[in-house]
Structure 1
Amino acid sequence: MGFISITDQQPPFTVNPWCRCSNQRKNMSASVAKLAILAVIQAPDGDDFIGNQALHLVLGHPLLAWTICAARDAHLVSHVVVVTNNALIAQTAKDYGADCLFPFPEELSWQRIKTTETLNRAIQEWEQIKQLRFDAVVELSLLTPLRDGADVDRALEKLMQPSVEAVVSVSEFSPPPEPITLSADGGQIISHQATSYHSVQGDSPQKYFAPNGAILAMRRNLIVEQHQCFGHNPHVVVLSPLRSVAVRSVGEIPWVESLLRDGHSGNRPAKKEMVTIERHIQGGRPLVLVTVNMSFLPKMRAEIAQVVDCIFAYGADRQTIVEILPHVDAWLCSPVPPYLMDGALLELAPRLKIVATPSTGSNHIDRIWCQQKGLEVACLKDTAVVNSIYASSEFTWGLIMTVVRRIHMAIARVRQNYWRDVENELRTVEFHGKTMGIIGYGRIGGNIARYAHAFRMNIIAYDPYKTIQETYVQQATSAMAVLQQADCLLISVHLDDTTRGMVTEGWYAAMKPGAIFINISRGEIIDEAALLRYLSNGHLSGAALDVISDEYLSDKRQHPVLCYARSHENLVVTPHIAGLTVDSEYKAAKFAFDAILRTLKLGNDPS
């Protein structure tokens, strides 16, 4: 790979952090977002590095899957196609959500023909298949699994600037004694003598950059009409060296896996899920839509199908739900749907009598609209059954132990091949004698108080709606009294108009220096931006969250909390799984279905 010139005609380049502001994508020009952009991944049947490299597993997924993930996650890419002459690679591509050009003509061997020729042929064939003309093309190397969708979008955004016809990804490096140059005739090396190359200069030391092969974006006319990939003056997008790492041998896979585990990429490959809509319709019975996951509760699924007509549609997207709703009498919904159950959606179900959610929280449902329309909403809050569910409380205590004792860091250090040589990073404190502060003394708050008491902690709690009976708990008269005394603070309140935004920056400022903050309620209850500031400046030594704001958004990668957590070990975030046990989910689902049966007057009253 050769050097690339970074000239004064281009702006200075700095390596962007992993996350970009989410508004940056939101503010993309409409003209860019509407362009037809094709991502091409060339995956031949073996090469000079490792045979069938596309199929080698990296963290349990084929190497190819990581690049497909990057292409699919790029907001500006409209089509993703894998070009291969191998049937297994073609099937793997389809499994992970990409289209495929297979079989590709044998005469176009990757060892004998320039990349430009195979790329050109792939573009034109895919245009003929899709009956459209692409505006731009981005070629992604399957060997670079850490480059992700955000990187691809940055390259494409630059490509759409006036007079830019090609963008190549580069990374910083230390120049070897005999550098080589990059030609403009399609990427071939034409000289091993560097006549000139430039670096970013100024007050900082010189920096040298070279193409890394991860991303090559170009206007269609450049590759199809001029048979070139780079043009005469390719612009660049800078990737960090770690994001540019290429897997060129099987021996490099463990290192790459370590980088991926440590959060150096936003890629999260997954096989394309085939959502199965399962209907049990006999006719003459009420129709219940079930979108909560019941794959692990076959007996309960059978019981539901015996009593009512039902449609199981876990994982279905909003459009599919829209098509089903007009015929639905009751909805047993997921507590974490990938869409908001707002008035615009619910009004499409004129027969709907009840929405039942197997959760204490209900911020995924527009309860104000439901109240105005007389639509019943059933949730676990303030019910007798909720007191028989312990999963969330147990998980919360696990989060507390993880952050206080830095268990997550200890596990990471072992994966990084460290042992007691990093003990100073992992030395913490005992629970004995420390103070647990609890805001909201409901089911979870009360259970955490009992767990903390078993660890011989002092406990102080504030809940203006409860009279605490336990003698080992000091009931505070204000939240501020708890904040000022707690070594570890738990927020366990229900989200409503009185608690939305309750935890302000002032709360963090009032906490003891070095305290731990835990939130398992809802992300909308706390000022997340202020929490990140107080973690960053060291006032809080750590935090753990099982919830974030705006969880209904399908793409959470650019969420500020998750961005911070990827690069800071003093914040632990889990994906809203505190209640995720077979036992608790069965109890919650049974409660929700019993509520539906009562509303539909089908008996089975659990009381």
Structure 2
Amino acid sequence: MPRILIAEPKDFSPKVIAHLRQHAEVDTRAITREEIPQALRDYDVFWFRLGWPIDERVLNENSRCRILATPVTGIDHIDEALCDRLGVKIACLRGEREFLRSVRATAEMTVGLAISVMRHIPAAAADVEAGCWHRDDFRGHELYERTAGIIGCGRLGNIVAGYLVAMGMKVLTFDPRPAAVVPPGVERLDSLEAVLAQSDLVSLHVNYHPGTHGMIGSQELAACKPGAVLVNTSRGGLIDEEALLAALQTGQLSASALDVLADERNVHKDHPLVAYARDNENLLLVPHIGGNTYESFTRTEGFIADKVLAWLSEWGNE
């Protein structure tokens, strides 16, 4: 039987594990980065989330692995060219638009982050936990009748746009793709700068690749409406973090909420944004938990399992 290693097993769906075990030998154990090369030599399928990069340091001609299973949409943690050369398939969620319409976790998180930072919820909660009740210190802003700018009108951007329209916001969007579909009640503008200049809240929903790396830099932040709020639940590499820090310090941005950072494997207490957030309530950072719900895990793991088993079945019939 083919061998599958689920290398990030915490909260993995027992139902999906049982389904996989009807067709394969399945091990569920957390491994270290140093153990990845051996795991790729021992298993046909290596199942993980975002825990490690998969590149030539761990994957090579001696690897047994034929499938990398990662239930996420962005796969910048995997060297795709290397996988193509070695004939390793990648089972992921990229491009699975029909299925992904039912996965709303990151879209909900986007709205939650916006409200949290605009209403000072983390700072207010910390104030109460410190034994205080300084109600007047935490006056915030509403979303109603303000303007939101959605950058990228793909699946998640459109879901978030729909939520914000329902909350009474005027919603603008920019997407350079002519075929991108804009949902009802949303106005599409011709340039990124035009959206930034008019938006009280800017939310990023763009695929990360070399062409979008650092797409929000000092020039784009200067083009933002003064006092705007920037939310990113996409990928950290979309933002020039040094420029973001400067925009927060000068007040060009009133606040920002980030679920992602550019180099998430090297986050530490002295990271410039982490250090700033520790002393300033206008930056809210959370550790890439946008899609991290029990519901989304169960749905996506089941979907990826079907993909993996279909490929294994094809190979078994060759």
TM-score by length of 2: 0.93
The answer on 1:599 being equivalent to 2:315 is: no
**In the aligned structure 2, how far is the partner of 1:564 from the partner of 1:538?**
14
The answer on 1:588 being equivalent to 2:304 is: no
Judging changes above 3 Å, is the alpha-carbon distance between structure 1 residues 576 and 523 closer, same or farther for their aligned structure 2 residues?
A: same
Counterpart in the other structure of 2:146: 434
SS at match of 1:343: coil
Counterpart in the other structure of 1:464: 176
Judging changes above 3 Å, is the alpha-carbon distance between structure 1 residues 520 and 349 closer, same or farther for their aligned structure 2 residues?
A: farther
**In the aligned structure 1, how far is the partner of 2:56 from the partner of 2:190?**
39
2:99 to 363, 368, 385: 385
How far the C-alpha of 1:362 sits from its partner, in A, is: 0.8
**In the aligned structure 2, how far is the partner of 1:308 from the partner of 1:582?**
24
The answer on 1:561 being equivalent to 2:245 is: no
Counterpart in the other structure of 2:213: 500
The answer on 1:347 being equivalent to 2:65 is: no
Determine if contact 1:352/1:375 at 8 Å carries over to the other structure: yes
What code does the residue aligned with 2:2 have? P
How far the C-alpha of 1:301 sits from its partner, in A, is: 1.7
1:411 to 125, 144, 147: 125
The answer on 1:322 being equivalent to 2:37 is: yes
Judging changes above 3 Å, is the alpha-carbon distance between structure 1 residues 602 and 300 closer, same or farther for their aligned structure 2 residues?
A: farther
Determine if contact 1:332/1:593 at 8 Å carries over to the other structure: no
Judging changes above 3 Å, is the alpha-carbon distance between structure 1 residues 299 and 467 closer, same or farther for their aligned structure 2 residues?
A: closer
- 1:41-70 CA-to-partner distances (Å, cap 9, x unmatched) read xxxxxxxxxxxxxxxxxxxxxxxxxxxxxx
**In the aligned structure 2, how far is the partner of 1:518 from the partner of 1:349?**
42
User: Which runs of 5 or more structure 2 residues have no equivalent in the other structure?
Assistant: none
**In the aligned structure 1, how far is the partner of 2:283 from the partner of 2:62?**
41
- Give the ranges of 4+ consecutive aligned residues of structure 1 lying more than 6 Å apart after TM superposition: none
The answer on 1:395 being equivalent to 2:142 is: no
SS at match of 2:26: strand
**In the aligned structure 2, how far is the partner of 1:484 from the partner of 1:500?**
21
Q: Percent identity?
A: 36
Report which of the two structures shows the higher radius of gyration computed on alpha carbons: 1
Determine if contact 2:228/2:253 at 8 Å carries over to the other structure: yes
SS at match of 1:345: coil
How far the C-alpha of 1:349 sits from its partner, in A, is: 5.0
Determine if contact 1:433/1:458 at 8 Å carries over to the other structure: yes
How far the C-alpha of 1:469 sits from its partner, in A, is: 4.1
SS at match of 1:601: helix
Q: Which has the higher contact order (CA 8 A, sep 6+)?
A: 2
How far the C-alpha of 1:525 sits from its partner, in A, is: 1.2
User: Which runs of 5 or more structure 1 residues have no equivalent in the other structure?
Assistant: 1-284
Higher helix share: 2
How far the C-alpha of 1:310 sits from its partner, in A, is: 2.1
What code does the residue aligned with 1:373 have? L
Determine if contact 2:116/2:122 at 8 Å carries over to the other structure: yes
1:33-72 to structure 2, matched below 5 A, reads none
**In the aligned structure 1, how far is the partner of 2:165 from the partner of 2:265?**
36
- 1:331-383 CA-to-partner distances (Å, cap 9, x unmatched) read 2222x21x321122011653222212100111211122212333222221210
**In the aligned structure 1, how far is the partner of 2:284 from the partner of 2:62?**
40
**In the aligned structure 2, how far is the partner of 1:556 from the partner of 1:594?**
37
Determine if contact 1:431/1:457 at 8 Å carries over to the other structure: yes
SS at match of 2:149: strand
Counterpart in the other structure of 1:446: 158
**In the aligned structure 2, how far is the partner of 1:397 from the partner of 1:416?**
27
